[in-house]
Structure 1
Amino acid sequence: MKALKLILVCFFATIVSMQAQTATKINLIENPGTVTGKVIDKKTNEPLSYVNVIIKEGDKFVTGGITADNGTFNIKNLDLKNYTVEFQFIGYKTVSKAINLTTTNKSINLNTITIEEDAIELKGVNIVSEKSTIEQKIDRKIINVGKDLISAGATAGEIMNNIPSVSVDPQTNAISLRGNSNVRVLIDGKPSNIDASQLLQQIPSSSIKQIELITNPSAKYNPEGMSGIINIVLNKNSKIGFNGSINNGVTFGKTPKLNSSFDLNYRSGKFNFYGNYGLNTGRQSNSGFIKSEETNKENDQLFTFINNNTSHLAKVGFDFNINDKNTLSFYTNQSFYNGTGKASTDVDYRNNTTDDLVQLFTNANKEHSETYNFDYKINFKKEGHSLELEMNYNKNDGPENAVYSNFNRDSGALTSSFTNDVSTIGKNSIINLDYVNPLTETIKLELGLEHRDESTANSLLRDRNPNSNFNYDRNISSAYVTLGKQWKKWSFQAGARLEKYKVTALFKEVSKTDGTFQDDLLNLYPSTFLTYNPSESNSFNLSFSRRVDRPSIGQVNPIREWSTATLDSQGNPDLIPQFTNSYEINYTRKTKIGSITSGIFYRRIEDEITRVIFTNPDNPNKQILSYANFSNNNAYGVEVSGNLDFKKWWSANVSIDAYQKKVKGTIESTPGNYEFVEVDANTFNARINNTFKATKDLRFQLFAMYRGRDLSLQFNRSAMWKMDIGSSYNILKGSGTISARFSDIFKTMKFAFEGDRPYPSNGQFNWESQTVYLGFNYRFGSGKNKANQRKQRDNNESQGGGGLL
């Protein structure tokens, strides 16, 4: 850590020195031209701060700035030429002024510039759009969440299945991207100690601004996640004055479930304060069966699950614009989760030699996650030249208390009972230092340092007595560099990230020898991007990156995660990292009816981490569901998505994708026997979300999805499909919206599977998939936006030379 601090200090001193030298050079060759003036609101005559002032020579951007708090601006160091000065401000019409700087007229004062509100853009204080839109960028796909997706479900997990390339397992809530579950989930660009499957259930859908799918991240970002990164951006607006929105909804399944949220923002002068809060509460019920054909143990298992969950998610923060060049930001996320559940497993053995049994299970789980983020950014004199320091701390405390009771199914007699009390405390600290310097108009350099400390402590009490402890600590120090170049219609960016990774783990269990694990690696992760834009309507992109999947705490923790009468779920502390070389080609075509993006990808995977099930060596009547490293693997895929307007009254988001992968590894083929198995797995998915505009204020939605069958080494999951209908109606002069949605009209959604390893089995699980949602959203406050860019790392976008990548 001391070494890292020394590196940070030296790096910072070097950058400041470079800036001082640059400033000296600029002063020596300072250009004489200057443009000044003041921008005011045409209607109120009040000065407007943070208006974009852009200097152009023809269509070419030269330089620019923003107005101060009193509306004034002063653009210096201009060549003596003819220019166009544009004044741009969100919610206002753009105004242009022509100027001519000469040797006799080196300084021009435009005096007072008045700009007026754009009535069309400001109408209705429209914080949430009617229809979700998909935007394809060089390294990511951005889904701007509209009211159609918000009404699709109460939580982030429920609306994820409506997102192209994303799937959420309805039983485990495990998320996958492009058919692979090794994906990194971020909130506002930051990691969380909460498992992604649980995190998605705690975030209200109405608190989400957009979802970013980053399938091939650049060297600037952490290389974790074989299939890439899913970044969930929560609402934060920066409109002048006081404004916000309130959203309430009820989902009716077997029982009603409430989701409610509000977003507030106040901006005045140099400060912007914002906050949002979301509540999800309700009861969920699931059921299922498994038919097992294990020799001499053939049985039928029936499962019922009932959970009562309440989650609160709050975000509070502020931005302080010290001056035009310095910005300080802070926010905190606070998440509270309280869940209780009960379940029963009924096992009916078909022979009479084994007693039938029933297991009853109850649990209570309370979880508190807190995140604190500090960011300080310096914008130097040169446009795009910046230095940013960010510090992030996250802590998660999640105790769970569970009671297991086993009964003889025929007599009803209690045969055994035990309790599991699990304590989990996770901490995560991150320090980032990022430097961006446009060396020329077409070349951009980025440098950065990062250090992460992560620790997790787990303990298990069995019948209130100490049973086992698991401590897992890792720290990662990294440095990256990227260089982007643009020439004519081509753009290129190359970079590399060097990471020092160290992990230590200690597992203690009563009456057993301590288990230890440690790993110390130094790895290089390169990335490249090549873009060709032959015209405004066509864009080609080729990219490569090397990725890594380091085992998560849930995958390595040997303490039992959950248990049934016949199955225990636990991690494998001997897992090693999985590395992936990822290649991708995308083509975007803009047409009269919208944009269509198609792409293909190839992944070469080393030591793939995969789910595995095997007989419990300590209890042959039970099995263990865990993780293992399999052999190297290859995966291919093709995707096509479109954001289309077929008619003025009909628009749609459409996506299809298909994947092929060869899966191989050593598994338990029959109880107690293991063999090397290799299978070819193919899957196909399709989604379409239609929006029909009946009147100015009335919309209808029709959504359909199909998820093809999927094959793994041990199981074959059947295909799934559903259809939803919905509508929305604007009231209160556009400030309010009433939404309704009927999900899974034909009640076709179910999770069905079959397998023959380590013995033949099949099963099916059902949940409250057929539901009715009713919601109301109300927006209030002033409608003037501040054209203030988000923090660079929150923006989380690949950077390149002079606006190229």
Structure 2
Amino acid sequence: MKKHLYKILLLLLFAAAINTGTAQTNPSNNVSGTLQTEQGAIVDYATVTLLNAKDSSVVKGTLTNDAGIYFFDHISNGSYIVSATTLGYKKIYSSAFMVTGNTTVPTLKMLTDSRNLQTVNIVSTKPLIERKLDRTVMNIENSVLAAGNSALEILERAPGVTVDKDDNISLKGKQGVTVMINDKLTYMSSAQLASYLRSTDGSTIQSIEIITNPSAKYDASGNSGIINIKLKKNRQTGTNGSLTAGAAYGQNFRDNTSLTLNHKQGNLNLFGTFSRGDQKRKNILDIDRVIDSASTLTYFKQRTIMLNEVHYNNYRFGADYNTSDKNTLGFVVNGDFTNEYSNNTNTTHLGLTPAVTDSYQNTLTYIKQTYRNFAANLNDKVQIDTNGQELSIDLDYSIFHNNSNAKYDTYFFLPDGSSQMDPLYIRNQTPSVITIYTQKADYTYPFSKNLKLETGIKLSSVKTDNDLQAQVNNGNVFINDTTRTNRFIYDEKVSAGYISLSKSYKKTSVQAGLRAERTASTGNLVTKNQMVKRHYLDFFPSLFINHEFSDKHELSFSYSRRIDRPGYDNLNPFRYYLDQYTYEQGNPFLKPQYTNSFELSYTYNKTINITAGYSRTTDVNTQIILTDTINKANYQTNVNLQTQNSYNININSPFTIAKWWTGNINATGFYQGFKSDSLLGGKLNNGQAAFQGRLTQTFLFAKSFKAEVTGNYQSALTYGIFNIKPQYSVDAGVSHSFADKKMNVKFAVTDIFNTRRNSVSSHYQSVNLEVRQKNETRLARLTFTYNFGNSKIKVRQHQTGADEEKQRVKGGN
């Protein structure tokens, strides 16, 4: 491991050597400077113009960055003046200065324009769906439908995104999505990630970015791409904030509250968010199946009514401090303390012939789960020079304390309702602790305006400790159940380094990168004294090419190789029961899967985008159902299939029918093909063409009313050994702003016609089952938002028509 780290460090030293050599041979004159207010606060995104001192003719123009710094390159010798202007401040001019080499202009102080500071409020919103060069952006901040919804419910409405009955997230029909929060990996498994997103208030989200082919700078995990959830960040000077309160009702009542505060003064920016909520939801699960045991068919008809309650409290606070014009030091602390309660009633009818009950059983389940999670980040960003050379460092620490206490009481009956045998009482305690350390450094050096180098290293260390303590009642007291009690400890260390070079020509831009990741992992089945060790080094190349044929026609190509390491919950061999005939079990022998992905994209007029993609995955980590013929049980687990071939085409287009009526169409067609020469004693060759469509329409009424209607459709599709039936739904909402736009009230209904349901079947080899699940999806929501504090200057840009290990943490349930 050390040997590979030395190679990565040598790579960085090589980059630094190139930096030194290039800096010595670059003769261009550069002009730079900083804008501040009278109080010393930075002035970002102000317009700065370089003028000839002789005749005030314009030489160049630019904007200040988020540190208040502006920069002009390739400036001839001579005498110049700088002018600067931004909303709410008087236009200002510098004194004349001579340029004979690289020149730094003395800091300019912007003076408040009292005539314009009274009620400046430019409010022209971004479209809901926005296509950028390397990603699709869903702008949540001003969406009516986002009000009162959780992050998971919003994510389900993102283009090409689906969430299945087990809360697994898919993108364009493919699982293996990496979810990031503010460009940082979430380090959670599907179970815990779903719990976290369900307890994240949608009012705290600014946008969702969908990156289907990430560059070498990003972790190589996620075969279908990255979903980056950007939380709101306030840039206003002074103290301000917002308070949001909402309530919803479907079959049960829900409520949510969030408070966001921001204080920005001089070089210091303090921010914090606290949100809390109570959710109660009802789900109904029906399973029909047939099990062949010793040539005897047993028919099962099972219904589970699940009533879940979630009480969550999330917090996030931090600070950024500009120690100088070129250095920003910051920290962020976030966490949550959440309690979940599940009361499930399961009834299973058994018979040797269809529709005839020979016996039945009732299983009453009570589960209490607690999540106590904490994460801290320390970051430093250094702008080494005004050419764009910078170094950023991130240090992260996370700890997850998850505890689950479950009771299963099963009663057995004959068809007439009389008792068949003594009840079965079992219980589980499953404490789980996950500790994560990561260190990351990224370095950027522009050789010139058109040539840029990016390189960096990352080290991560993860340890999970899961202890399943199972007991069974022997008629008097609970005793240890040695057949189920187990302890699983998993250690994983990943060392990574990357280098990326980008070059821009007149009409063409090219970026090529290479990432290396070395993984060392140990899975320890303590109770069985069994170890599973793996060590492997992988290289992940990437290539991006973009060409503009004209202002209206643009073509892009991208390629990347990626890896998906098994989720921690998928490796954990513990059994989690629905009843004695239905359970879930991990597989400690799962191998990582690898994907090569290609994408070709065409953009017309910077708005309409058509993308075609192909990917091939080997050692496919796939969820399947296995049969325990001895106990007549089905259990869900994950195995490695040989290959998955995926083809997709996506069309995204905003449209404007009238000034008050705009919208967006997003349509994806795809094919998923799975192959395995040996699966459950047979050969698997499964695939099906499928379609996903989403139509969003936005209506503006007068100046303060806004309405949105969204329709969603997903056709039938095949995934592994499962056949999934179509899904469709319609959502709608309306909002009204008042009190000089400081207050806003929104009313929305999701799944108006109550049509969203999951229906899955599988008929492969010994597997013969039908699953139908109906969640509480039709909800009426009312949300109130109040913005307070310094909001005299609030500008939104008008446009017309960025953690892997957390991603894999066990949710503890």
Corresponding residue of 1:553: 568
Please tell me the residue identity of whatever aligns with 2:671. Answer: Q
Q: 1:327 to 1:77 in 2, by over 3 A?
A: farther
Structure 2 CA distance for aligned equivalents of residues 482 and 36 of structure 1: 29
Of 204, 208, 226, which aligns to 2:201?
204
Of 116, 138, 142, which aligns to 2:133?
138
Of 476, 481, 493, which aligns to 1:475?
493
Corresponding residue of 2:798: none
**Deviation per CA, 1:102-157, whole angstroms, max 9, x where unpaired?**
89xx999998766759979975596xx86753332332222221343554652111
Corresponding residue of 1:615: 627
Please tell me the residue identity of whatever aligns with 2:504. Answer: Q
**Deviation per CA, 1:538-585, whole angstroms, max 9, x where unpaired?**
322110000111111011111124433421111111111100000011
Of 361, 366, 381, which aligns to 2:365?
361
Cα distance, 1:508 vs structure 2:
2.9
Structure 2 CA distance for aligned equivalents of residues 548 and 759 of structure 1: 29
- When structure 1 is superposed on structure 2, of 776-785 and 639-648 the one drifting more is 776-785
Q: Give the number of equivalent residue pairs.
A: 766
Structure 1 CA distance for aligned equivalents of residues 574 and 584 of structure 2: 9
Gaps of 5+ in 2: 52-56, 472-478, 796-801, 805-813
Of 685, 695, 698, which aligns to 2:705?
698
Q: 1:354 to 1:445 in 2, by over 3 A?
A: same
Q: 1:613 to 1:36 in 2, by over 3 A?
A: closer
Corresponding residue of 2:178: 184
Give TM-score, length-normalised by structure 2. 0.86
Which residues of 2 match residues 763-802 of structure 1 at below 5 A?
Answer: 763-783=771-791
Structure 2 CA distance for aligned equivalents of residues 292 and 300 of structure 1: 7
Cα distance, 1:713 vs structure 2:
3.9
Corresponding residue of 1:349: 350
Which residues of 2 match residues 43-442 of structure 1 at below 5 A?
Answer: 49-51=42-44, 52=46, 54=48, 78-81=75-78, 85=82, 87=84, 89=86, 116=113, 123-124=120-121, 133-148=128-143, 151=146, 154-169=149-164, 171-195=165-189, 196-294=193-291, 296-351=297-352, 355-409=359-413, 410-411=417-418, 414-442=422-450
Higher relative contact order (CA 8 A, sep 6+): 2
Q: Secondary structure at the match of 1:203?
A: coil
Of 614, 624, 649, which aligns to 2:635?
624
Q: 1:462 to 1:36 in 2, by over 3 A?
A: closer
Q: Secondary structure at the match of 1:254?
A: coil
Check whether the contact 1:547–1:581 (CA below 8 A) recurs between aligned residues. Answer: yes
Check whether the contact 1:168–1:174 (CA below 8 A) recurs between aligned residues. Answer: yes
The reply on whether 1:540 has 2:555 as its aligned counterpart is yes
Corresponding residue of 2:583: 568
**Deviation per CA, 1:206-248, whole angstroms, max 9, x where unpaired?**
1111111111010111110000111112222221100111111
Q: 1:398 to 1:786 in 2, by over 3 A?
A: same
Q: 1:525 to 1:59 in 2, by over 3 A?
A: farther
**Deviation per CA, 1:479-531, whole angstroms, max 9, x where unpaired?**
1111111110100010100111111111133xxx4322111111110001001
Q: 1:301 to 1:382 in 2, by over 3 A?
A: same
Cα distance, 1:783 vs structure 2:
3.3
Q: 1:39 to 1:326 in 2, by over 3 A?
A: closer
Corresponding residue of 2:810: none
Check whether the contact 1:49–1:66 (CA below 8 A) recurs between aligned residues. Answer: no
Q: Secondary structure at the match of 1:216?
A: coil
Corresponding residue of 1:790: none
The reply on whether 1:638 has 2:653 as its aligned counterpart is no
Please tell me the residue identity of whatever aligns with 1:364. Answer: K
Corresponding residue of 2:809: none
Q: Secondary structure at the match of 1:522?
A: strand
Please tell me the residue identity of whatever aligns with 1:626. Answer: T
Structure 2 CA distance for aligned equivalents of residues 257 and 471 of structure 1: 37
Check whether the contact 1:654–1:687 (CA below 8 A) recurs between aligned residues. Answer: yes
Cα distance, 1:639 vs structure 2:
0.7
Structure 2 CA distance for aligned equivalents of residues 339 and 480 of structure 1: 41
Q: 1:236 to 1:564 in 2, by over 3 A?
A: farther
- When structure 1 is superposed on structure 2, of 234-243 and 139-148 the one drifting more is 139-148
Please tell me the residue identity of whatever aligns with 1:188. Answer: N
Please tell me the residue identity of whatever aligns with 1:284. Answer: R
Corresponding residue of 1:791: none
- When structure 1 is superposed on structure 2, of 717-726 and 405-414 the one drifting more is 405-414
**Deviation per CA, 1:560-617, whole angstroms, max 9, x where unpaired?**
24433421111111111100000011122237xxx22210110011111111111126
Cα distance, 1:85 vs structure 2:
4.2
Q: 1:149 to 1:700 in 2, by over 3 A?
A: closer
Cα distance, 1:349 vs structure 2:
1.8
Q: Secondary structure at the match of 1:496?
A: strand
Gaps of 5+ in 1: 788-793, 797-805
Q: 1:286 to 1:217 in 2, by over 3 A?
A: same
Corresponding residue of 1:740: 747
Q: 1:62 to 1:755 in 2, by over 3 A?
A: same
Cα distance, 1:402 vs structure 2:
0.4
Corresponding residue of 2:456: 448
Please tell me the residue identity of whatever aligns with 2:501. Answer: L
Q: Secondary structure at the match of 1:148?
A: coil
Please tell me the residue identity of whatever aligns with 2:644. Answer: N
The reply on whether 1:682 has 2:689 as its aligned counterpart is yes
Q: 1:118 to 1:375 in 2, by over 3 A?
A: farther
- When structure 1 is superposed on structure 2, of 705-714 and 633-642 the one drifting more is 705-714
Please tell me the residue identity of whatever aligns with 1:336. Answer: F
Q: Secondary structure at the match of 1:398?
A: strand
Structure 1 CA distance for aligned equivalents of residues 10 and 118 of structure 2: 48
Cα distance, 1:286 vs structure 2:
0.8
Check whether the contact 1:479–1:499 (CA below 8 A) recurs between aligned residues. Answer: yes
Give me the identity figure in percent: 25
